[in-house]
Chain A
Amino acid sequence: MMAQVDLTVEICGMSGDGTIAAGGILNEAMSRAGLFVLAFDSYPAEIRGFGRCVTHSRVGDREMRALSDRTHVLISLDDKESQSRIPFLAREAVVFFDSKPPSYVEEGASIAAHVEPDARLFGMPFSELAAAASGSTRGRNLTALGGFAAVFGIPSRTFHEVIEKKFKAKGEKVLDANLKSFDAGHRFALERLKVEQIPPIPPLVKGGREDLPLVKGGREDLPLEKAGMGEPVYPPLEKGGREDFLEEAEEKILISGNEAVVRGALDAGLALYFGYPITPATPIMESLAKALPDRGGRVVQMEDEIASIGAVLGSFFAGKRAMTATSGPGFALMTELITHGVMSETPAVIINAQRGGPATGLPSKTEQSDLHAAVFGGPGDSARIVIAPTDVRECYDFTLMSFQLAERYQTPVIVLTDFFLNNRVEKVEIPGASEARRANWNLYPEESAKGRYERYSITESGISPRAIPGAEGFLFSATGLEHTEKGRPDYSSDIHSKMTEKRHRKIRGALKDLPEPVEWSSGGTMDVGVIAWGSTFGSALEAVLSGQKEGMQVGALKITSLFPYHAEAIRAFMKRCKEILIPELNYEGQLANLIGHLHAKDVVRLNRTTGMPMSPTLIYERIKSLI
């Protein structure tokens, strides 16, 4: 059996405490140390100054699909804010906190007053150590990381590499201050481990605590198999287990959903990006602004989202791959022009990074409440393609794929991500795009059509050969008005009926190129089948796998093609399940609304609008209640 390491670390502080930066360093270091990482930051909508920031990092020796419900390590950079994290602490959680605030505080101001008695408090004078080491308290977040590295046996050199990478560009002084702050925390924690003979925690990385001096007759580094904690959070590593996965993990990189979208777009040969900043999609534009010009492309910040989608349609119309990324409020502004793309059969790629809504809603919280808007939003019968990745790797794959889909089916393709997916980082393999995956899928007209070209010719597939403007002999007009096969406006009943049917036939035909549902079950009939989409699928799968381990007859179905969707495959799965459970991060159950009719009886909805990712435990408990 493989060894099991499954540890969730949270860093909590106030805006300006360096919480998110510390989380990023932690994730990168853990990844370099050979562990898998799935991480997510939650922070206030405002740029800086106030509000709680929390980084959630789940690290383990195997791939993970969701955040854990329980936190095993809490690093508190602000005790007042961190108190909100206490209900999520696992038993015997380790809590790092500043043991020497600038002045005495009244009872209750310290996190120590609130933790449960089983918690392992590890007080460190973050500010004092950082100030003594670097002349400033700004590095206290790094001091805290130093403590973490010492207690959990992550080699300090691993953190050094990451800190150097992060701060090198800011000059030697800044880099030096951060390294010194880290080292001060590391030294302090080692010393405390030694002096106070704190019960050992097995190193997360084999040999990671080799720099811990043994204490004569005192605390010694126990053999791993002897050093268990109360809860099997850090079970002993088995010989050979870690090495195996290290080899496997070497080809993987730590990357966020947003970065994966960017990589997908770049590998697809994106030529033009038009956008307007909005959380959580802004990092896509920021990254592309740096990377795209080097590849001969351009990033243009437009005056708003309407202009952005207009420019994307214009680019594709002219034969250039283009993309925009936005979130709910921006997507709402794009609606009319998206339907223009549907009517004029013009490709477009739109990333909708969902956040809490409606309206400006909850800019920095996650939700899956734009499904209806993505599938049905806009006037008229405007069928378009909607796909939704469920993890970071799929953010890459689906973005890459979206350009070919848009070209072949001459329609806007909406890639529906969500805040959790966009911002979380995962250690994944990004293979790079083959020629086939980059290939232009546009169906060009035959040379023989020259001079008698009909841009919207009615075909069996519904796909009309699309000429790029400027091609000699392939003159056509395109319009948002209903039109004839030649593209001339026509409002007759006959034309509208024919053309509406053609456009829908075309979109239905896209199913053959869209990812099919993927099932996780042992086959046969099931007591409960869980169907999920987007980032919630990871939580659903964790819940289902837990249930299967316990002998439950349960299965999970991943749906990534939301429109059109594979009705027959979904129906076949549903038929084998006594109950269908659909967990979603929206109030009504928008996927349930979309596909619920495929089931013989009412599907069971599990809906949450907390702004946080779906809890695997919640799904698991609901499954249990249905059996």
Chain B
Amino acid sequence: MAEEHFVVVGNGPAGHQAAVTLKEKAPDAYVSVISRSRGSCYRPHLLPDFMAGKIPETALYVCPTDAYKDKGVKLRTGQKVVGLNLRERSVALDHKEIVRFTGLIIAAGGKPRIPEPLWIFRDLMLTLKTLEDAKAWREKLSRVDSVLIMGGDLTSFAVTRSLLDLNKKVFFMLDREAFWPLRCDRVMLEEAAHRLSQRGVEVIVDRRVKSMARVSDLACEVQLNGDRVRAGLIGAFFGLVPDIRFLVGSGLRIDRGILVDEYLNAGYEGVFATGDCAQIYHPEIRDYWVSIGHDNAVSLGRTAALNLLGGSVMVEAAQESIFEVQGIRVNTSWWMDY
């Protein structure tokens, strides 16, 4: 290939920042962003506000889609990467198109995590990862009076706040999965329950879901051990898992996410992973950690791009901001901000 072709998989905050940085630092290179979702990059942490009607859709976007063109970045939306061939240095799209690259940054992000026991009820629960999710929430909320929040990741608190602002009755089910990705202990549970109750939330603790059903267009019923809750909508907030199934068998090392060194390199020349889907080595703690939160994602996106262009920028993460959760170390700047 005569010219550099950098391909970025994913158009979240990390992918967008990576692409912009690549073009900024290597203006002659051809930079493509391939995203399975439509539209421009948006700020996922503002989705609860959008869901509640506090901000318009336009306020979510980092930039309009035309801005990619203006910056010389080719944005391909609604297109899914289904395979990676490291030998040929190409990715395959689901419509059987091969895209060859000289450098690759994988910023595929995460997808909502539904714990195994609840998996069979997934169609009855709403998540809030994408703009489409938020639109679905927004539309359905106009027709219901109450919502049951399950899980308890960081998004769930923002959503709860928005729901209360909308004068919805909120049930919040706190269990051992709550506060993902932080470890949940009894003290935290009680503290959270207290705070939520003070704001008018009906907190349900130490209960396990036995069954779940839609009883009408406007109501779902959740059978718990020893209790029963009826709510218009059910939200599932159990954190995210990296969306990297398409890389299985590619040769990249994968654990919880794509294993990368402290420079975000995935073990192959010119191949990097960044954002939610990367599991990053920390030379001081000698272990891998993952990162969540908007600001971290932007920073990692920039780092990956600089290193792809020949830099040697080490990912920075203070040891004290890294938590260990279920054997995984997590840097949660978002949590700290919250």
Contact = CB atoms under 8 A, between A and B. Distances in A.
B94 A117 contact: no
Contact of A112 (B38, B97, B136, B139): B97
B97 A113 contact: yes
B210 to A, nearest CB: 18
A101 interface: yes
Contact of A226 (B40, B78, B93, B139): B139
Interface in A88-111: 97-101, 103-107, 109-110
A104 B68 CA distance: 27
A199 interface: yes
Interface stretch (A213-221, A492-500, A537-545, A575-583): A213-221
Nearest to B68: A117
B95 A110 contact: yes
Contacts of B77: 117-119, 121
B79 interface: yes
Nearest to B122: A217
Interface in A176-234: 197, 199, 215-218, 222, 226
Interface in B45-90: 65, 68-69, 75-79
Contact of A117 (B39, B92, B95, B98): B39
B286 interface: no
B124 A217 contact: yes
A218 B133 CA distance: 10
A463 B125 CA distance: 85
Nearest to A223: B139
Nearest to A95: B78
Contact of A106 (B39, B79, B98, B124): B98
Given A107-B100, A113-B97, A226-B139, A216 B214 contact: yes
Given A120-B38, A121-B78, A121-B79, A97 B95 contact: yes
Interface string B124-163: 1110000010011001000000000000000000000000
B125 A217 contact: yes
Contacts of A218: 123
A100 B96 CA distance: 6
A117 B96 contact: no
A118 B93 contact: no
Nearest to B65: A117
Query: How many A residues touch the partner, as a band?
Result: 20 to 34
B80 to A, nearest CB: 9
19 contacts: A99-B94, A100-B96, A101-B96, A105-B97, A106-B97, A107-B98, A107-B99, A109-B97, A110-B96, A113-B76, A113-B97, A116-B65, A120-B78, A121-B79, A197-B136, A199-B132, A199-B135, A217-B124, A218-B123
A105 B76 contact: no
A215 B123 CA distance: 9
Interface in A118-150: 118-121, 123
Given A117-B65, A120-B78, A217-B214, A104 B97 contact: yes
B95 A99 contact: yes
Contact of A123 (B68, B69, B94, B124): B94
Given A117-B77, A216-B214, A218-B123, A99 B139 contact: no
The 5 closest A-B pairs by CB, nearest first: A99-B95, A117-B75, A110-B97, A117-B65, A121-B78
B38 A105 contact: no
Given A112-B76, A118-B65, A121-B78, A217 B123 contact: yes
Contacts of A217: 123-126, 214
A222 B95 contact: no
Interface in A231-290: none
Given A117-B40, A117-B65, A107 B123 contact: no
B98 A112 contact: no
A123 B78 CA distance: 10
A144 to B, nearest CB: 14
B329 to A, nearest CB: 34
Interface in B269-311: none
Contacts of B214: 216-217
Interface string B103-136: 0000000000000000000011110000010011
A123 B75 CA distance: 18
A109 B100 CA distance: 13
Contacts of B126: 217
Contact of A104 (B39, B98, B124, B135): B98
Contact of A222 (B65, B97, B139): B139
B10 to A, nearest CB: 14
Contacts of B68: 117
B126 to A, nearest CB: 8
Nearest to A98: B95
Contacts of B38: 117-118, 120
B123 A216 contact: yes
A158 to B, nearest CB: 28
B124 A216 contact: yes
Contacts of B97: 104-107, 109-110, 112-113
A100 B93 CA distance: 11
Given A112-B79, A117-B68, A217-B125, 14 more contacts: A100-B95, A101-B96, A104-B92, A104-B98, A105-B97, A106-B97, A112-B93, A116-B65, A117-B40, A117-B75, A121-B77, A197-B136, A216-B123, A218-B123
A215 B100 CA distance: 38
A373 to B, nearest CB: 46
A118 B92 CA distance: 22
B124 A197 contact: no
Nearest to B126: A217
A217 B124 CA distance: 5
A107 to B, nearest CB: 5
B7 to A, nearest CB: 10
A76 to B, nearest CB: 11
Interface string A290-322: 000000000000000000000000000000000
